[in-house]
Amino acid sequence: MTAASPCSGRSTCSCCTKSAVISLRDRNLQLCGDHFREDLEARVSQTVRENTMIRDGDRIAVALSGGKDSTALLLLLDKVVKDYTGVSLAAITVDEGIAGYREDTVVSAVRLAADLGIEHRIVSFPELFGASLDTFLKGKETRACTVCGILRKKALATAAQQAGADRLATGHNLNDEAQSVLMNVLRGDLPRLIRDSGKETEFFIPRIKPLQEISEKEIAVYLMIRGAWRELPECPYTRYALRAEVRTMLSKLEYDYPGTMKRLIQSRKTLSACLKKSDVSGPLQHCKQCGDPCSRELCQVCSLLPSLRL
């Protein structure tokens, strides 16, 4: 059914006669806005169902930074949960305290949650850890993303617990997941490479990633179609991130060899399945200081905070 308009060079939707708004090269499909929205919503629904990410009666905390991924996540979950009985959503925003960046996304998050009528909580680094990320990082900017990642994970888990959630949904997309695989390989961090954060344990609130099979490009187009696209500033610490380099490299590889990112993620699944029985991360215990689950004497947050003393 695929047809191309020879004069304009623009392609036609593979499912109807309208102009395509997106080309999904790895699936050899061109879709118009309506068919793309339908296709993407069905795929997210399928990911949630196939991985049992949501069950009837669940309360789901949704990490809502107000950026593109989390905005799409909340819009999509608001729809997906209607297929289940008695599921409630609570949006959670972590304000790390990043001047010139976070203020705008927090405003977007507040607006979106209010528009959808979803309960919303905001927690901040000063309130939880005693200072903003900007303050912690004075003179240590190169450690920004490591510090931010560790503290934000704890902040989200705390807020999700306060909200009485059974699961925590995050907006990690296909690009993020593929980048993480490559970064963990580059760092030689096998335990983290194969860790399954969605696993049910007595220790952690399970995390779910409903957008794990949706690319950054698809999310951007979806937001435009839903009228939810906003130009937001970029985090000023991005330039210190290994992720930024990996992101550029993977985007180029994906363009030259469509399907690269999906294959990378598949290789992690295959490796995890092979190593299922061997314990590469060590047994879990409780942090001596705060009682949180961890694989060493002190959890990452309690090990990190003294090095950030002001």
With respect to Zn ion, which residue has the nearer C-beta, 185 or 287?
Answer: 287
Q: Rule CB under 5 A: which of 281-310 touch Zn ion?
A: 287, 289-290, 292, 299, 302
- With CB under 6 A as the contact rule, the residue among 112, 148, 214, 302 that binds ligand SF4 is 148
DSSP 3-state of 53: coil
What is the number of H-type helices and E-type strands within the chain? 12, 9
Residue with tokens 């593929």: 178
Q: Do the Cβ atoms of 223 and 71 come closer than 8 Å?
A: yes
With respect to ligand SF4, which residue has the nearer C-beta, 80 or 155?
Answer: 155
- With CB under 6 A as the contact rule, the residue among 85, 238, 272, 285 that binds ligand SF4 is 238
Q: Does 144 bind ligand SF4 (CB under 6 A)?
A: yes
Backbone dihedral angles phi then psi of residue 53, each to the nearest 5 degrees: -75, -30
Residue with tokens 């330039």: 239
Q: Does 151 bind Zn ion (CB under 5 A)?
A: no
With respect to ligand SF4, which residue has the nearer C-beta, 129 or 237?
Answer: 237
CA distance 18 to 24: 16
Residue 161 CA to its chain's centroid (Å): 19
Q: Does 145 bind ligand SF4 (CB under 6 A)?
A: yes
For the chain, what percentages of helix, strand and coil (3-state, to nearest 5) are there? 50, 10, 40
Q: Does 136 bind ligand SF4 (CB under 6 A)?
A: no
261 DSSP assignment: H
Please state whether beta strands 285-286 and 293-294 pair in parallel, antiparallel, or not at all (unpaired): antiparallel
The listed partner (ligand SF4, Zn ion, none) that binds 88, CB under 5 to 8 Å by sort, is none
- With CB under 6 A as the contact rule, the residue among 86, 149, 164, 191 that binds ligand SF4 is 149
Tell me the CA end-to-end span of the chain in Å, nearest whole number. 63
DSSP 3-state of 282: coil
Q: Does 129 bind ligand SF4 (CB under 6 A)?
A: no
CA distance 71 to 63: 9
Residue 88, classified by CB atoms within 10 Å of its CB into exposed (0-12), middle (13-18) or buried (19+), is middle
What is the nearest approach in angstroms of ligand SF4 to the Cβ of residue 272? 24
Q: Does 235 bind ligand SF4 (CB under 6 A)?
A: yes
The listed partner (Zn ion, ligand SF4, none) that binds 149, CB under 5 to 8 Å by sort, is ligand SF4
Q: Does 123 bind ligand SF4 (CB under 6 A)?
A: no
With respect to Zn ion, which residue has the nearer C-beta, 245 or 297?
Answer: 297
The listed partner (Zn ion, ligand SF4, none) that binds 166, CB under 5 to 8 Å by sort, is none
With respect to Zn ion, which residue has the nearer C-beta, 235 or 302?
Answer: 302
Q: Rule CB under 5 A: which of 112-141 touch Zn ion?
A: none
Please give the residue ranges that form the binding site for ligand SF4 (CB under 6 A). 144-145, 148-149, 235, 237-238, 241
